[in-house]
Structure 1
Amino acid sequence: MDPQVFVRLSIGSLGIRIPVVTSNPVREGVRISTSPCVCEIRLRGFPVRTAVVPFISSSPQDSPDPHHIATTFYLQDSDVKAMLAPGCFHPSHASLEVSVFVGKQGFQYCGVGGKKQQQVGTFRLEVGPEWSGGKPVLLHHGWIGIGKTKQDGGKPGPELHLRVMLDPDPRYVFQFEDDTKSSPQIVQLQGTMKMKQPIFSCKFSSERRMSSHQLDPMNNYWSSMKEGIDQESERKARKGWKVMIHDLSGAAVAAAFIATPFVPSSGCDRVARSNPGAWLIVRPDICGTDSWQPWGKLEAWRERGVKDSVSFRFHLVPEGQEAGGSILVSELLISADKGGEFFIDTDRQTPSGTPLPSPQSSGDFAAVAPVVAGFVMNCRVQGEGKSSKPVVQLAMRHVTCEQDAAIFLALAAAVDLSIQACRPFPSKAKRGIRNVV
């Protein structure tokens, strides 16, 4: 498998310090409160990011956190080339901009601030050829002045501390060639021309139980499905869905199946947080044939608000442990109408610092060094009722073999199908009206 070129631009270790003028600290200097500043981080072609900038005193013992990452941008090779090429609307190269602001609850600098947000200063770093060099580059690390005082003779004003680092982050990119329910082929997109290389196939089924003559190693898991559901819930429940991922030889290398049915909660027409549907993501047991081991659990439910969305919660399940010993690695919302992105990325959300072993590892989480995993995977899916064809990106460092990729593709299939499984159920009142008409 050949990866595509990506780079990871991280901005962190933020801090700001303000020189205090002793002659008249209220009028000419700085009044400091306990609230920090905020900054807006801009890079052409990406949404604006915001982050808190803590105040750092002049004491040698007070310094910014060297390990904290405020935000991360992931750039394809084509993104960097576009930033380096001037155009009609952008006559010069793009720049990374970090603009620091104070607001009503922040500190006041030289009489500025208090009633509304005011800008303290801006750090700019122009995009250069080194951004596409494919090597780690420390673009900036340390303090830099971002403004001048207005009433102290032009002496240096506020200083911003930040660390800007560029790291290569190669990824494997896969695409489902059709809707997940259509049992599509899965291809790998390679090179700048996005050449398609078949690599897996996806088999979807909606049977609640396998026939007794079928030798399916997953049968043991089906027995754990909830029993005793009343006839109405049985008719309305979305259950029995299963996705098998096969390699080119036809061998099953990963799977996902509904372990908790998607049913409407009592008194409403939707899958609610109090009773989410759940998928079990499994992989072949490395210690034996025709047996499977749980790798992760994906829960999903419908959130109702101004715009409906589907909530996801994904846990890793260490080998030999029950659900209570699982590790939360992703929790996010996806628009039910427009779709969106499911991701595992400790730079973009909490919990951070979660170790992530290879899916083919022994599963002994205690033996894994507690390092930040960073970007692991993402998949883009469409909203309910739309043709999805998920696109999945996987960090190369988390894929040691094809089976590792397959388990993430099974997870992506479960995410895609959850959008459909969380659609509102028809209510009895609406059915009655239709029957009368």
Structure 2
Amino acid sequence: MDPCPFVRILVGNLAVKSPASSRPASFSGKVHPSTSPLFCKIQLKGVDSDSLSCTNVASVPLISDSDPHPRSLAATFDFSKPKIIKASKKALVRITVYKGPATPSCIFTSPKLIGKISIPVDLTLAESRPCTFHNGWLPLSKNNNQAQTQFLHLTVRAEPDPRFVFRFDGEPECSPQVFQIKGDVKQPVFTCKFSFRDKNPAHFPSPNANHSAERKGWSITVHDLSGSPVAAASMATPFVPSPGSQRVSRSNPGAWLIIRPDGDGTWKPWGRLEAWREPNNSNAVGYRFEILPATAVPVTLAGSSISSQHGGKFTIDATSSVTPVNTPRGSWDLGSGSGSSSDFGLEPNLFFNKGFVMSATVDGEGKCSRPEVEVGVQHVTCTEDAAAFVALAAALDLSMDACKLFSQKLRKELRQ
């Protein structure tokens, strides 16, 4: 089955220059020093989507006339075919520039509005080829005195980003089928088998036992339609409560190994997913995913948190400043190899060097969780590639259960 069409908008190469940003003789750097930094909100208007997911905040360097503008990516927006149709030609990228400090929570503290710029984008044009809607300088305000006008440099680009879409037909612990989706058409491609590696009853609590026992030995294997195993996720570190609490702590997270067949009935590790319950009575589950290359040290590709109450989305995006990563090792400038890396000055990475990699939905507590997985076509060259991402999505979904408070009772499929 063919992949689903997606379009990705990329915004970057931001910089501001104004009469006040001329370089003093004592300054030798390329960005003018300023006690009041500039930053902007980047919003997508005219689309039927969550307003929060369509808003980004980015810093904007203040440069002098003789300095080249920086080359960096500030925001991306992704659209499936139905959203492309709804947006039609009404979509706008709006950049609102402020002067003043911004807190990490993106709540502005007494900012001063510098100006706004809107760039129309026609998403239908980018379904088959990359399109640049703007690349250059624009005035931030209408000022008859050109010498006092501030200018913003930006690049707004859109490009096709086709993806394979997979959907679980049930909760992972119920050993569901997995379908590939394209529009209204779906076809089965995988089956999942949830199991416990160690079935010794002494290692698992009875339904009436104390629920503070560790959660361990969970495993889910992905099979192709012939019944051959093509990927698996297996608990490598038990999920246990920290001393004196009912929570899995970040200092002692549970962990999964994502493994792939290596021939002759053996398996090789492909990735490692860690998960824990965030502190301070938070209902969020934190996670960190590492790729495990055979000849190099592990590399963190994603790390953030998901609300256990409301759910959310896990994303691996090999594009600079896109994937949420809370560790220094994860702050790579990973490039998009689909044509945008040269536009935004991004360097390719050895493992995933072509923009969007994958995403997986996670439903909140009390809902029937049927993860939907999107995988960029450039990262799937065989069945095992797709299956590995499906196994990772299943492991993340199961981690939401494994990280429940140990005073809570798990559903019967997760108890042995």
Q: TM-score, normalised by structure 2?
A: 0.80
Structure 1 residues 97 and 320, CA, compared in 2 at 3 Å: closer, same or farther? closer
Instruction: Report what 2:137 is aligned to.
Output: 143
User: Can you list the C-alpha shifts for 1:330-386, whole angstroms capped at 9, x where unaligned?
Assistant: 1010001111111111331342335899xxxxxxxxx97487442100000112343
The 5 Å alignment of 1:96-115 reads 96-103=93-100
The 5 Å alignment of 1:150-299 reads 153=145, 155=147, 157-190=149-182, 192-193=183-184, 195-208=185-198, 236-285=213-262, 288-299=263-274
Instruction: Report what 2:411 is aligned to.
Output: none
Distance in 2 (CA, whole Å) between partners of 1:280 and 1:394 is 19
Structure 1 residues 251 and 275, CA, compared in 2 at 3 Å: closer, same or farther? same
Structure 1 residues 356 and 237, CA, compared in 2 at 3 Å: closer, same or farther? farther
Instruction: Report what 1:50 is aligned to.
Output: 57
AA aligned to 2:367 is K
Q: Is the 8 Å Cα contact of residues 353 and 372 (structure 1) preserved in structure 2? A: no
Distance in 2 (CA, whole Å) between partners of 1:65 and 1:36 is 16
Instruction: Report what 2:69 is aligned to.
Output: 64
Distance in 1 (CA, whole Å) between partners of 2:397 and 2:21 is 58
Question: Once structures 1 and 2 are overlaid, which stretch shifts more, 369-378 or 35-44?
Answer: 369-378
User: Can you list the C-alpha shifts for 1:72-119, whole angstroms capped at 9, x where unaligned?
Assistant: 00111222221227xxxxxxx2321111111269xxxxxxxxx93222
Instruction: Report what 1:317 is aligned to.
Output: 292
Q: After TM superposition, give the deviation of residue 207 of structure 1 in Å.
A: 3.6
Instruction: Report what 1:15 is aligned to.
Output: 15
AA aligned to 1:100 is V
AA aligned to 2:161 is D
Structure 1 residues 101 and 293, CA, compared in 2 at 3 Å: closer, same or farther? same
Residue from 416, 419, 432 that aligns with 2:397: 416
Q: Is the 8 Å Cα contact of residues 212 and 246 (structure 2) preserved in structure 1? A: no
Structure 1 residues 379 and 371, CA, compared in 2 at 3 Å: closer, same or farther? closer
Structure 1 residues 164 and 385, CA, compared in 2 at 3 Å: closer, same or farther? same
Q: Is the 8 Å Cα contact of residues 21 and 63 (structure 2) preserved in structure 1? A: no
Pair 1:338-2:310 in alignment: yes
AA aligned to 1:302 is R
AA aligned to 1:164 is V
**What secondary structure does 2:19 align onto?**
coil
Distance in 1 (CA, whole Å) between partners of 2:220 and 2:316 is 21
Higher relative contact order (CA 8 A, sep 6+): 2
**What secondary structure does 2:306 align onto?**
strand
**What secondary structure does 1:236 align onto?**
coil
Instruction: Report what 2:333 is aligned to.
Output: 353
AA aligned to 2:62 is F
Residue from 82, 89, 103 that aligns with 1:78: 82
Structure 1 residues 291 and 36, CA, compared in 2 at 3 Å: closer, same or farther? same
Q: Is the 8 Å Cα contact of residues 371 and 393 (structure 2) preserved in structure 1? A: yes
Instruction: Report what 1:134 is aligned to.
Output: 128
Structure 1 residues 77 and 386, CA, compared in 2 at 3 Å: closer, same or farther? closer
User: Can you list the C-alpha shifts for 1:161-202, whole angstroms capped at 9, x where unaligned?
Assistant: 011111110000000000111100000011x32x11100000
Distance in 2 (CA, whole Å) between partners of 1:345 and 1:410 is 18
Distance in 2 (CA, whole Å) between partners of 1:372 and 1:141 is 24
AA aligned to 1:102 is K
Pair 1:326-2:333 in alignment: no
AA aligned to 2:37 is P
Q: After TM superposition, give the deviation of residue 309 of structure 1 in Å.
A: 0.5
Q: After TM superposition, give the deviation of residue 269 of structure 1 in Å.
A: 0.9
Q: After TM superposition, give the deviation of residue 320 of structure 1 in Å.
A: 5.5
Corresponding pairs, count: 363
Q: After TM superposition, give the deviation of residue 206 of structure 1 in Å.
A: 2.1
**What secondary structure does 1:275 align onto?**
coil
Q: Is the 8 Å Cα contact of residues 145 and 156 (structure 1) preserved in structure 2? A: no
Structure 1 residues 370 and 394, CA, compared in 2 at 3 Å: closer, same or farther? closer
Distance in 2 (CA, whole Å) between partners of 1:9 and 1:81 is 15
Structure 1 residues 130 and 155, CA, compared in 2 at 3 Å: closer, same or farther? farther
Calculate the aligned-residue CA RMSD, in Å.
2.9
Q: Is the 8 Å Cα contact of residues 123 and 158 (structure 2) preserved in structure 1? A: no
**What secondary structure does 2:368 align onto?**
coil
Q: After TM superposition, give the deviation of residue 305 of structure 1 in Å.
A: 3.5
**What secondary structure does 1:411 align onto?**
helix
> Deviating runs (4+, > 6 A) in structure 1?
232-235
Q: TM-score, normalised by structure 1?
A: 0.76
Question: Once structures 1 and 2 are overlaid, which stretch shifts more, 13-22 or 235-244?
Answer: 13-22
AA aligned to 1:52 is S
Identity among equivalent positions (%) equals 40
The 5 Å alignment of 1:355-434 reads 369=350, 372-426=353-407
Distance in 1 (CA, whole Å) between partners of 2:148 and 2:401 is 58
Distance in 1 (CA, whole Å) between partners of 2:336 and 2:75 is 20
Q: Is the 8 Å Cα contact of residues 138 and 164 (structure 1) preserved in structure 2? A: yes
Q: Is the 8 Å Cα contact of residues 6 and 127 (structure 2) preserved in structure 1? A: no
